[in-house]
A and B are shown apart, each in its own frame.
Chain A
């Protein structure tokens, strides 16, 4: 059964062109979906719609069978408990004035999650490969890769069912990127993952299914293997041909 399904969703910024044009797809519980597109493709808009930050101009999103109601406060609190996000830039997504303990525990307080918060925070840190020594330090005391680990810890601390990631490894150095992709791969075994990226190498490593977006439309969708081995749309073909490769 699909955990989240997007049914003919369109979105238009005021007076602009359609940023999303009848986008439909579904993600099975436990699966990992990659949303691939270049700048202006609508991938970030789509993610904002999925997070309930933008309300679709048309169409509907269903989460666990219930239609997303962006205006319904109680529904959205429950939704945010189960759907969390990691963004691209770990330098701007962490409050520089807060210690890691407070940053990571923030969703627990905001969502009034019952349970032993300190234990949950430590468990989240352990899951991302940081030790408890990190708790009393500030974001600037960490490298880019470690900051992204902190952001991921914050996203998983409330034990969401769905993790949304927006270019979550794009700002990282190559060797760090490999390790954070490994971390996402491990998390994807425990929760449903929607990973937005322009980087085909990253989605190939992470995602079972792909959706290729161009100008707000899905031009191709299917299992990663099929999309990579038998791309049908010319745009998918040109994307694949454009990926720089290491010399043999």
Chain B
């Protein structure tokens, strides 16, 4: 079976400075992989590379295959066929992912219409949009659809961004720090939603985050990155339970220290 995402020997440079060095990872259909790293580790750049959105001026080598097609040399025509259908992305800050001048319903509707055009389906856009907003557990979907992004909360905006990703019926959902900008109670609700949606649809998930316990809750396997290189990878239970690299050990110890603080306080 062809992996949905297969990255081999990926190297990305800004001038002479390496940002990512010899990175390799694969995501099989239905697999949930977490990409962990601190700032500057290259995790978000990896997400951008995976969907052919690398900023101009960066030199990339190696290969990044989405469902078998190398996206690094691919042009817009090939990329637009892969984006959405193979992989859709949810970013950290939903306020910048949404057009501030367009009502939420119209933005979701655009994706729905394009997707229906691809599939050759005739649909009623409004009903489809409403259905999607319901699937991401937005109460009052009609009010949300007629609102502008600034008129709804951060959690609601992220749910809208997830709805837009789902509208593409992707096989792989790439989520880059999707709950980092959210409050802790909202984060818990959005994580639960993501978990359920990925399970129900049998999607694969590439979940990128700096937050170890959040990652541990949603994925099966993890890759730990630091300064553009893979430090360690394996099943969550093994990497967090018995980390082999010093760096991973420090990260896990730091995360457990805050957990222990809560345990001790209680």
B184 touches A174 (CB 8 A): no
In this complex, how many residues of chain A approach chain B with their Cβ under 8 Å: the count is 30
Q: A175-B254, A177-B254, A242-B185 are in contact. Are A247 and B216 (CB under 8 A)?
A: yes
| CB of A64, distance to nearest CB on chain B (Å) | 29
| CB of A120, distance to nearest CB on chain B (Å) | 32
Point out the residue from A144, A175, A178, A244 that lies within 8 Å of B217, measured CB to CB: A244
**Chain A's interface: helix, strand, loop or mixed, by majority?**
helix
Q: Would you list which residues of chain A between 192 and 241 have a CB under 8 Å from chain B? A: 198-202, 204-205, 224-225, 228-229, 238-241
A97 contacts the other chain (CB 8 A): no
Give the interface segment out of B95-103, B104-112, B257-265. Answer: B257-265
B261 touches A244 (CB 8 A): no
Distance between Cα atoms of A174 and B37 in the complex (Å): 10
Give the interface segment out of B25-33, B82-90, B134-142, B206-214. Answer: B206-214
B252 contacts the other chain (CB 8 A): yes
Distance between Cα atoms of A228 and B260 in the complex (Å): 13
| CB of B207, distance to nearest CB on chain A (Å) | 13
A246 contacts the other chain (CB 8 A): yes
Distance between Cα atoms of A69 and B265 in the complex (Å): 37
B261 touches A201 (CB 8 A): yes
Q: Would you list which residues of chain A between 158 and 190 have a CB under 8 Å from chain B? A: 173-178
Q: Would you list which residues of chain B between 235 and 266 have a CB under 8 Å from chain A? A: 236-237, 240-241, 250-252, 254-259, 261-262, 264-266
A201 touches B262 (CB 8 A): yes
Beta-carbon nearest neighbor of A207 in chain B: B265
Beta-carbon nearest neighbor of B262 in chain A: A204
User: For residue B257, which residues in chain A have a CB less than 8 angstroms away from its CB?
Assistant: 178, 205
User: For residue B258, which residues in chain A have a CB less than 8 angstroms away from its CB?
Assistant: 178, 199, 201-202, 204-205
Q: Would you list which residues of chain A between 107 and 136 have a CB under 8 Å from chain B? A: none
| CB of A96, distance to nearest CB on chain B (Å) | 19
User: For residue A228, which residues in chain B have a CB less than 8 angstroms away from its CB?
Assistant: 262, 265-266
User: For residue A39, which residues in chain B have a CB less than 8 angstroms away from its CB?
Assistant: 154, 183
In this complex, how many residues of chain B approach chain A with their Cβ under 8 Å: the count is 35
Interface string of B28-52 (1 = CB under 8 A from A): 0000000000110000000000000
Distance between Cα atoms of A136 and B230 in the complex (Å): 36
User: For residue B227, which residues in chain A have a CB less than 8 angstroms away from its CB?
Assistant: none
Q: A246-B255, A246-B259 are in contact. Are A175 and B264 (CB under 8 A)?
A: no
A198 touches B184 (CB 8 A): yes
Q: Would you list which residues of chain B between 189 and 225 have a CB under 8 Å from chain A? A: 191, 210-214, 216-217
Point out the residue from B154, B188, B210, B254 that lies within 8 Å of A242, measured CB to CB: B188
A174 touches B240 (CB 8 A): no
| CB of A23, distance to nearest CB on chain B (Å) | 20
Distance between Cα atoms of A96 and B27 in the complex (Å): 42
B259 touches A201 (CB 8 A): yes
Point out the residue from A38, A173, A204, A242 that lies within 8 Å of B265, measured CB to CB: A204
User: For residue B183, which residues in chain A have a CB less than 8 angstroms away from its CB?
Assistant: 38-39, 198
Most chain A CB within a 10 A radius of its CB, from B38, B213, B216, B265: B265
Beta-carbon nearest neighbor of B191 in chain A: A244
B187 contacts the other chain (CB 8 A): yes
B266 touches A178 (CB 8 A): no
Q: What is the interface of chain B, defined by CB distance below 8 A to chain A?
A: 38-39, 154, 183-188, 191, 210-214, 216-217, 236-237, 240-241, 250-252, 254-259, 261-262, 264-266
Q: What is the interface of chain A, defined by CB distance below 8 A to chain B?
A: 38-39, 144, 173-178, 198-202, 204-205, 224-225, 228-229, 238-247
Q: 7 smallest A-B Cβ distances: which pairs?
A: A201-B258, A38-B183, A244-B213, A242-B188, A173-B38, A205-B261, A204-B261
Given contacts A204-B261, A244-B211, A246-B212, 8 further A-B contacts (CB under 8 A): A38-B183, A144-B39, A199-B184, A202-B258, A229-B265, A239-B184, A244-B187, A246-B240
Give 10 pairs: A residue, B residue, CB < 8 Å, sorted on A.
A39-B154, A174-B212, A205-B258, A228-B262, A229-B265, A238-B185, A245-B259, A245-B262, A246-B240, A246-B255
